Amino acid sequence: MRLNKYIASSGLCSRRKADELIEKGLVMVNGKTVTELGFIVGEKDKVFVEKKLIHPEKHQYYRFYKPAGYITTCDDEKGRKTIYDLLPENLAGLKPVGRLDKDSTGLLILTNDGDLINALTHPSVKVPKVYMVTIDAPVKKSELEKMASGIELEPEKIAYADIQVLEIDSKHTEMCITLYQGMNRQIRRMFEHFGYEVKVLKRIQHATLNLEGLKRGEFKPIKPVQIRELKNFLNRIADEKDCNNG
């Protein structure tokens, strides 16, 4: 197995990040520093990253329906409740793919597959994430058009969204929103930009995975056929990006 894949299979990071660690001289195999990116390791070799012994892990994949009131992190300095308070100890080593803020609910993918995490979150690959969103007033068509074309939330950072209005009256607007970016609190900030408050924000789909069969606070393993479908989908997106860039 290539050294970068071995490191990624431990759940420590993606292969790309593993290559960076190797190039920086932070990886040792059997007591010797290795900087060759194509280096091959065997089952009996001992690999250390930053002097810590690592082991390949069997990849695990779960869907989790995050409820409101929990933050998406392992530990919190302020003592707030985290999603890991709801998960069994054997899933404590899995990492969430992206985040949902404390007041948001919906789908989180949990895994120790560093390559998959990178493929789902890397900014160069536009992976769709779908949300059900309710704001506190009727939204204007001109504002929806501006959000579709992009608004500057930060210097040189343009946020955009595909928005479908499902229901609108004098007191609220309910929408289905698709994002292809991973900016922090993007949806809330986009509506705050126009003076609206988001009352409900629920992620219902990430790439090919959705909340089907999950109750709030519940988690379930992702089936192998779903993982294959997900990886095939990500490969197609990456291929399309390469073709467009070419």
- Tell me: the pLDDT tens digits for 198-225? 999 999 999 999 999 999 999 999 999 9
Check whether 76 has a pLDDT greater than 80. no
CATH topology of domain 3-54: 3.10.290
Domain with CATH 3.10.290.10 in the chain: 3-54
Q: What percent of the chain has pLDDT over 70?
A: 98
Domain with CATH 3.30.2350.10 in the chain: 129-206
pLDDT over 80 at 246, yes or no: no
Q: Are 39 and 73 in contact (CB under 8 A)?
A: no
Could you tell me which residues come within 8 angstroms of residue 178 by beta carbon, excluding any fewer than 6 positions away? 128, 129, 130, 131, 161, 162, 163
User: Nearest 5°: phi and psi at 225?
Assistant: -65, -35
pTM for this entry: 0.81
CATH for 129-206?
Answer: 3.30.2350.10
CATH topology of domain 61-123+208-222+240-245: Alpha-Beta Plaits (3.30.70)
One-letter identity of residue 113: D
Strand ranges inside 123-243, DSSP E = 129-135, 151-154, 157-159, 162-168, 173-179, 198-206, 209-210, 219-221
245 pLDDT band, cuts 50/70/90, is low
| Catalytic residue selected from 101, 115, 136, 169 | 101
pLDDT at 69: 95
Q: For residues 158 and 190, give the distance between their C-alpha atoms in angstroms, rounded to a whole number.
A: 10
Is-catalytic flag, 101?
A: yes
To the nearest whole number, what is the mean pLDDT of the chain? Answer: 91
Helix (H) or strand (E) holding 170: none
Distance CA 231, CA 211 (A): 18
The tokens for 127 are: 């992976």
Alpha-carbon span 226 to 21, nearest angstrom: 31
Q: What percent of the chain has pLDDT over 90?
A: 71
Q: What is the pLDDT of residue 129?
A: 97
Q: Where in the chain is the domain with CATH 3.30.70.580?
A: 61-123+208-222+240-245
